[in-house]
Amino acid sequence: MAELKKVASTWPNRLTFAGSRLIKNAFLDEMIQPIRQTPTGKIMVYGGGCDDGVLAVQASRAHIGNLCCPIKGSPASEMNWLPVGHDIKVVVTHPDNPVTNITMGALRDIARGRVRNWKHLGGTERPIALVVHDHCPTYFEPVRTLLLGGADPWSGHRLSATTDEDHLRQVARFPSSIGINSWILAEPLVRRGELKIVHVDGSPPTVASAENGDYPLTGPFNMIFSEWNDGIMRPFFDFLYSPQGQAIISRKAVPISKDKALAQGRPAGYVRQA
């Protein structure tokens, strides 16, 4: 990934975020509303992907970058960062599919092309239509890492999607489909009856089951930064890790406490000036 040269004078004069729209849609848009009611609550939020967050921070165009992939081994690995929660990845299929539960082992076999018919998984005899959105190639993308170990290729018997929206549309289209995507994006289609959730190892994809470790498919929500601006960044992170902020996150994702975040991340000035 190309790097942009940072120019200190280009830092925006209001707290600015860029990157993963999953974080934006999950809780950031809602979380910044109370802050915007304060006298110093000027905030800008831009969506995009993990690369957008990294490049914007490197170029001093955003104070904070949003990533929905792990920091380790990524283009952001040398930056300061804080974990802010966990995304819930849901297994979805067509509503007509009778299968309601699947094991992680079976998911891995489907991902690798070892199992290709629903009859081996308690369903009707029809080929499995695996729909894959193989994105974030320079990151240890959570679903790819969990199912393929980050090294093995996806099954050659798959349908490929170019975007998350295309991925979910294709899963909803085929009666024998299966796919994995963020609950944040899949939830509207599930609510409308266009997709059906499949439990994993007997556990539903809920915040509670993911938080206690029963549900195995999750991904990290991280925020990165290169320079610490205490005046505009501390109030946001203080609110994010407050009970009110944690309650907002927990509506669609798994929150992480401030103590765990400080222990796991590279918080720079957020600790030194506390």
Domains: count for the chain: 2
* Domain closes at, from 211, 240, 256: 211
The answer as to whether 4 is a domain residue is no
Residue 132 and residue 224 in one domain? no
The token pair at 159 is 């349908």
The answer as to whether 134 is a domain residue is yes
Q: How does DSSP assign 76-113, residue by residue? A: TTTSEEEEEEEEEEEEEE-TT----EE-HHHHHHHHHT
Residue 127 and residue 41 in one domain? no
241: domain CATH number is 3.40.190.10
Q: Grade residue 254 by pLDDT with cuts at 50, 70 and 90.
A: very high
The answer as to whether 153 is a domain residue is yes
* Domain closes at, from 160, 193, 211: 211
The answer to whether residues 146 and 70 touch, using CB atoms and an 8 Å cutoff, is no
Cα 75 from Cα 139, distance rounded (Å): 8
Residue 174 and residue 233 in one domain? no
Residue 72 and residue 182 in one domain? no
What is the residue range of 256's domain?
Answer: 10-86+220-272
Q: Among the residues of the chain, which ranges form H helices?
A: 21-23, 29-36, 50-58, 104-112, 142-148, 164-173, 183-191, 207-211, 230-240, 243-249, 258-264, 269-272
Residue 69 and residue 97 in one domain? no
The pLDDT tens digits of the residues spanning 2-25 come to 343 444 447 888 899 999 999 999
Q: Grade residue 1 by pLDDT with cuts at 50, 70 and 90.
A: very low
The answer to whether residues 184 and 253 touch, using CB atoms and an 8 Å cutoff, is yes
Residue 81 and residue 22 in one domain? yes
- Residue that is written with structure tokens 């802050």 in the block: 35
pLDDT at 115 over 60: yes
- Predicted local confidence at residue 77, as pLDDT: 94
